[in-house]
Amino acid sequence: MKAPQAKIRFATILLFVILAMNFMAAQSLRPGSGGDVRATGHVEGAAAEKLPAAPSGGAVVQGNGINYHTGGTVLKANPVPIYIIWYGNWNGGTRPSDSLVTRTLIEGFLSSSSLGGSSYEAINTTYGDTTGNVSGHLNFSGSVLDNYSQGTRFGDKNLTTIVSTHAGHDLPLDANGIYLVLTSSDVKESSGFCRTYCGFHTHATIGGADIKYAFIGNVDQCPSGCEAQATGPNSPATGVGGADGMANVITHETEEAITDPDLNAWFDSAGNEDADKCNFKFGPTTTVANGAHINQTFGGHSWLIQMEWENSRGGGCDQTLGGAFFTN
């Protein structure tokens, strides 16, 4: 989703962030009568569309500030498999964070013993469809390296090609999982990375299957726009915040890809999905030895990741399932 830059206050530092929404449906769109604004799937030229919310009283819980739409589905695998395509140079590229250290950290972050099994991830269990709820678990399930198969500058159609090159070939073809294309800091996604978004998720038919995937670039390419802090809790050196910043964007996009995989399930009247509603909102934080701020600890590491919208108790941005709601 396209969005202008917004200002947030974090501790005593004023940071400027690009609102990292999902599908490039313009943030300025507001619904009229007849339904909620639906994201376009990041398809160039796709017309804005409105979908009516499902009526209350059905099999899905409504009325918590975000709406379920009839016919929409969620990903219910337990756990949801996460596959990574490391695109570009991740063995010592343009910036220090283009490294094996980053790859190891991110893959560990997505494991079932880290984010995948956390109380934070459990917030997703408050979302479902007419056949059941999200499990609240995900797990890193495999990765491959892609050495610039589409060059150092590509658009959205090339992104689909990157996914189709690997899904069903050196990665499983899995309609129940999510594929993350993580690009090194010398790669430009021409539709707006670092200008209008930090990441997005969408889906496409690949090999006869409905495949869900997301783009996340190395945010060290635009730290003032896509990183909450230049030095994160896992930074190997001052100002090398790529892995921590990417973890925050990955969290945003995986939460949305699970609860709104086909762009027709969960979003509010303004077209915001669950992570959009809490974008760059972190809640209470603590400070670690290198001066970085954190709000989560799991998998043997500390993290600063945005809150997610809990679809219960009236709705709100939460750090853990059933915890206190926060507004910033």
Predicted pLDDT of residue 51: 86
Please report where in the chains the tokens 């892609």 appear, as a residue. 146
pLDDT > 50? residue 20 = no
Query: Concatenated DSSP letters for 249-318?
Result: HHHHHHHHHHHSTTSSSEE-TTS--TTGGGTT---S-EE-TTS-EESEEETTEEE----EEESSTT-EEE
What pTM was computed for the model?
0.90
Q: How far apart, in whole angstroms, are the C-alpha atoms of residue 33 and residue 84?
A: 40
Tokens standing for residue 132: 């059941």
269 contact partners, CB below 8 Å, separation of at least 6: 31, 36, 37, 67
**Which is higher by pLDDT, 176 or 50?**
176
pLDDT confidence band for 30 (50 / 70 / 90): very low
Residue 259 or 28, more confident? 259
Q: Average pLDDT for residues 127-152, to the nearest whole number? A: 98
pLDDT band of 177, cuts 50, 70, 90 = very high
Given pLDDT bands bounded at 50, 70 and 90, which one contains residue 37?
confident
Question: Is the per-residue pLDDT at 130 higher than 70?
Answer: yes
Number of H helices, E strands in the chain: 4, 22
Tokens representing 169 are 């070939």
pLDDT at 40: 75
The helix (H) or strand (E) run that includes residue 154 is strand 153-154
pLDDT at 46: 66
Q: Is the dihedral of CA 201, 203, 206, 211 positive or negative?
A: positive
Domains of the chain by residue range: 5-25+71-326
**What are the pLDDT digits (tens) for 50-101?**
888 998 888 899 999 999 999 999 999 999 999 999 999 999 999 999 999 9
CA neighbor of 249 nearest in space, from 186, 183, 187: 183
Q: What is the pLDDT of residue 55?
A: 87
Mean pLDDT of 5-10: 26
- Quick: pLDDT tens for 279-315: 999 999 999 999 999 999 999 999 999 999 999 999 9
Cβ-proximal residues to 278 (8 Å cutoff; 6+ apart), any chain: 306, 307, 308, 309, 317
Q: What pLDDT is stored for residue 19 in this prediction? A: 34
What is the rounded CA–CA span in Å between residue 126 and residue 141? 24
